[in-house]
Chains A and B, each alone.
Chain A
Amino acid sequence: MADTRNPVENLADDYDIFDPEYVNDPVPAWADLRGRCPIAHTERWGGSWLPTRYDDIQALAKMVPELSSANPGPIVIDIPEEFRQPEHEGYNGASPITADPPEQTWTRRALLPHFTPKAIEPQRVYTEALCHELIDGFIGASGCDGAVDYAQQIPPRVIAHKLGVNGDMVDDFIEWVRGVLELGLTRPELRVKYGNIIRDFFATEVTDRRQNPKDDLITALCQTEVDGELLPDEVVIGMCNLQLVAGIDTTWSSIGSAIWHFAGHEDDRRRMAEADDALWDTAIEEMLRFYSPVTMARNALEDVEYGDVTFCKGDKILMNFPGANHDPEVFDDPDTVILDRQRNRHIAFGSGIHRCAGSNLARMEMQVALRTWFERIPEFTLADPGAVTWAGGQVRGPRILPLKIG
Chain B
Amino acid sequence: MRIKVDAEKCEGHSRCYSLAPELVDVDDLGNAFELNDGEVPAGLEDKARLIVDNCPEFAITIEE
Contact = CB atoms under 8 A, between A and B. Distances in A.
B53 interface: yes
Interface string B47-58: 000100111111
A116 B53 contact: no
Chain B, interface SS category: loop
A275 to B, nearest CB: 16
A10 to B, nearest CB: 32
Contacts of A115: 30
A24 interface: no
Contacts of A294: none
A112 interface: yes
Interface in B1-39: 11-15, 17-19, 26, 28-30
Interface in A346-388: 346-347, 349, 351-353, 355, 359-360, 363
Size category, A interface: 20 to 34
B29 A355 contact: no
A343 B56 CA distance: 11
B11 A360 contact: no
A112 B11 CA distance: 11
Given A109-B29, A112-B29, A355 B11 contact: yes
B55 A112 contact: no
A349 B53 contact: no
Contact of B28 (A116, A346, A352): A116
Most chain A CB inside 10 Å of its own CB: which residue of B15, B26, B29, B30: B30
B54 A355 contact: no
Contacts of B55: 345
Interface string A81-119: 000000000000000000000000000010011011110
A352 B56 CA distance: 9
A14 interface: no
A344 interface: yes
A4 interface: no
Nearest to A278: B19
A346 B28 CA distance: 24
Nearest to A344: B54
B30 A360 contact: yes
Contacts of B54: 285, 343-345
A346 B56 contact: yes
Contacts of A117: 14, 17-18, 26, 30
Contacts of A353: 11
A85 to B, nearest CB: 31
Most chain A CB inside 10 Å of its own CB: which residue of B12, B15, B58: B12
A285 B54 CA distance: 10
A233 interface: no
Contacts of A363: 14, 18
B56 A351 contact: yes
Interface string A16-48: 000000000000000000000000000000000
B54 to A, nearest CB: 6
Nearest to A356: B13
B5 to A, nearest CB: 15
A113 B29 CA distance: 5
B18 A281 contact: yes
Contacts of B57: 351-352
B53 A345 contact: yes
Contacts of A352: 11, 57
Contacts of B56: 345-347, 349, 351, 355
Interface in A318-351: 342-347, 349, 351
A342 B53 contact: yes
Contacts of B17: 117
Contacts of B30: 112-113, 115-117, 360
Given A112-B29, A113-B29, A359 B13 contact: yes
Contacts of B19: 281
A355 B12 contact: yes
A220 to B, nearest CB: 13
B18 A116 contact: no
B18 A355 contact: no
9 contacts: A112-B12, A112-B28, A116-B28, A117-B18, A281-B19, A285-B15, A344-B54, A345-B54, A351-B57
What 4 pairs between A and B have smallest CB-CB spacing?
A116-B30, A343-B53, A355-B11, A112-B29
Interface of B: 11-15, 17-19, 26, 28-30, 50, 53-58
